[in-house]
């Protein structure tokens, strides 16, 4: 059992949880993820580390409530326990020697972008963060990003309620046009990563994306997370989650992400009917 040390709500559907997991915290690195089960009947679901302390033995993650497991997690509080938690899994993001990097974090992807931007700053890269959300209320971890030694922080909202109005690809395109970037790291919904990669391809700027295919075992055994990169089959869990964004088949990724959508919707509806919170 893994005890929840702290839990808080960051925005309407986004939550943060800190869990006591000393053995996992000792080995965690930016860009890696873990798989948890909320309870002993629960499914295995992957989440990326948003923070951790090797000394104090905790890991932290940020999640969006989208279905049954994340609904269950959103009701957990300090003192509750997760049935199990396995990690770190996947490869750490490559940092250092990248020069001027634009880290793009969209939606809950901002939580994954945070430790990556922090590790890049610590490794001597010159980092500008482009932080995007649909609306101001969905922007997360702004203060944490502001505390990093960044070259710049650009806030973008679809509806213009905070920062620049529009999509993250607009400031990204400007940065590319000004030849002010050597590498781009895009983390967020598949559609956002697809358009970030399309934007940077035009300017020949190397672009890494952090993919989130459906995962089951997280160890390269089940094949659930297969993605096509440069015409080759790769497993998101052991070959990734980071890949060259210019080579990823995003249409296939998005279509595979939708495979269980009907089952997920009916499971969520049933769970929500029985839940007193009425989300
Ligand atoms: C490497 C990796 C890191 C991730 N990190 C984060 C994170 O830090 N924060 C966050 O909010 N989300 C993250 N996700 C997505 C997260 O795993 C899903 O939101 C979660 O599994 C949804 O479960 P559910 O039961 O609440 O929803 P469901 O109703 O079961 O599913 C809702 C949607 O979540 C996705 N999903 C469902 N099951 C899985 C699964 N086993 N593996 C991957 N995706 C699934 C599908 O796209 C699905 O349509 C990550 C996914 C991957 C692969
Ligand atoms: S999740 Fe099973 S092979 Fe990657």
Residue-level pLDDT at 262:
82
Report pLDDT for 92: 97
pLDDT, tens digit (0-9, with 9 covering 90-100), for 31-43: 999 999 999 989 9
* Cβ-contact 278, 272 below 8 angstroms: yes
262 located within any domain: no
Residue 72 lies in a domain: yes
Instruction: Please tell me the residue having the least CA distance from ligand 2 atom 2.
Output: 222
Position 227 in a domain = no
Residues 187 and 112 in one domain: yes
Q: Where are the alpha helices (DSSP H) in 67-187?
A: 68-74, 109-122, 142-146, 169-177
Q: Are residues 85 and 106 in the same domain?
A: no
Q: Which residues of the chain register pLDDT less than 50?
A: none
Buried residues in 130-145 as b, exposed as e (16+ CB within 10 A): bbbbeeeebbbbbebb
Q: CA-CA distance, 217 to 231, in Å (whole number)?
A: 24
Nearest CA to ligand 1 atom 5: 47
* 84 lies in the same domain as 173: no
Q: Which ligand is nearest to the CA of 59?
A: 1
CA 181 remoteness from chain centre: 22
11, 39, 45, best to mutate for ligand 1 pocket (most atoms within 8 Å of CB): 45
36: nearest Cα among 66, 74, 70: 70
Mean pLDDT of the chain: 94
Within 8 A by CB and 6+ apart from 66, the residues are: 13
| Residue whose entry in the numeric block shows the structure tokens 């279509």 | 255
| pLDDT for res 274 | 84
My answer on whether 79 and 144 are in the same domain is no
Last residue of a domain, one of 149, 181, 210: 210
**Residues 84 and 110 occupy one common structural domain:** no
Domain boundary among 171, 193, 210: 210
Residue 267 lies in a domain: no
Give the ligand at the shortest distance from the Cα of 256: 1
Residues 118 and 174 in one domain: yes
Please name which of 10, 7, 9 lies closest in space to residue 140, comparing C-alpha atoms: 10
How many A from CA of 182 to the centre of ligand 1?
31
CATH number, domain with residue 42: 2.40.30.10
pLDDT given at position 260? 81
Residues 52 and 10 in one domain: yes
Say whether both 71 and 138 belong to one domain.
no
Q: For residue range 249-270, what is the model confidence (pLDDT) as tens digits? A: 999 999 998 888 888 888 888 8
Is 241 within the bounds of a domain? no
Same domain for 12 and 78, yes or no, is yes
CA distances from 88 to 22, 91, 218, 271 (A): 11, 9, 10, 29
Which-ligand-closest: CA of 35? 1
116 and 197 part of one domain: yes
Q: Give the sign of the dihedral formed by CA 50, CA 73, CA 45, CA 67.
A: negative
C-alpha pair distances (Å), 122 with each of 148, 242, 274:
9, 19, 47
Q: Considering its fold, how many domains does the chain have in total?
A: 2
User: Do residues 81 and 17 both lie within one domain?
Assistant: yes
Give a yes or no: residue 111 inside a domain: yes
Structure confidence at residue 278 (pLDDT): 65
Pair 129, 68 in one domain: no
Whether residue 260 is contained in a domain is answered as: no
Quickly tell me which residue has 């035009």 as its tokens.
Answer: 202
Helices (H), 75-219: 109-122, 142-146, 169-177, 190-201
What's 205's domain CATH number?
Answer: 3.40.50.80
Q: Which of 60, 89, 118 is the last residue of a domain?
A: 89
Structural tokens at position 140? 């997360």
Express each pLDDT in 67-113 by its tens digit: 999 999 999 999 999 999 999 999 999 999 999 999 999 999 999 99
* C-alpha angle 156-157-160 in degrees, rounded to nearest 5: 110
Atom of ligand 1 nearest to the CA of 64: 11
Q: How many angstroms does the Cα of residue 15 sit away from the middle of ligand 2?
A: 25
Ligand 1 environment, Cβ below 6 A: 33, 45-48, 61-64, 66-70, 108, 111-112, 212-216, 241, 257, 261, 264, 268
Q: Which domain holds residue 53?
A: 2-89
């Amino acid at each position: 059992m893994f005890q929840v040390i702290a839990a808080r709500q960051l925005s309407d559907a986004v939550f943060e949880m800190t869990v006591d997991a000393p053995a996992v915290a000792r080995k965690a690195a930016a860009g890696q993820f873990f798989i948890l089960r909320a309870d002993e009947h629960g499914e295995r679901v992957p989440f990326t580390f948003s923070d951790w302390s090797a000394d104090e033995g905790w890991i932290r993650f940020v999640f969006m409530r989208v279905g049954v497991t994340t609904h269950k997690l959103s009701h957990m509080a300090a003192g509750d326990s997760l049935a199990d938690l396995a990690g770190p899994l996947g490869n750490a993001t490559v940092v250092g020697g990248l020069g001027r990097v634009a880290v793009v974090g969209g939606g809950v992807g901002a939580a994954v972008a945070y430790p990556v931007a922090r590790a890049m700053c610590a490794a001597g890269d010159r980092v500008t963060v482009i932080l995007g959300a649909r609306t101001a209320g969905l922007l997360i971890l702004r203060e944490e990003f502001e505390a990093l030694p960044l070259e710049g922080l650009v806030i973008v909202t679809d509806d213009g309620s905070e920062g620049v109005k529009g999509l993250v690809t607009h400031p990204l395109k400007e940065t590319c046009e000004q030849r002010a970037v050597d590498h781009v790291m895009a983390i967020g919904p598949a559609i956002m990563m697809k358009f970030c990669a399309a934007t940077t391809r035009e300017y020949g700027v190397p672009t890494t994306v952090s993919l989130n295919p459906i995962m089951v075992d997280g160890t390269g055994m089940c094949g659930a997370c297969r993605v096509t990169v440069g015409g080759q089959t790769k497993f998101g869990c052991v070959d990734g989650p980071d890949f060259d964004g210019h080579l990823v088949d995003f249409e296939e990724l998005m279509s595979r992400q939708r495979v269980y959508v009907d089952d997920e919707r009916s499971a969520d509806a049933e769970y929500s009917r029985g839940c007193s919170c009425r989300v």
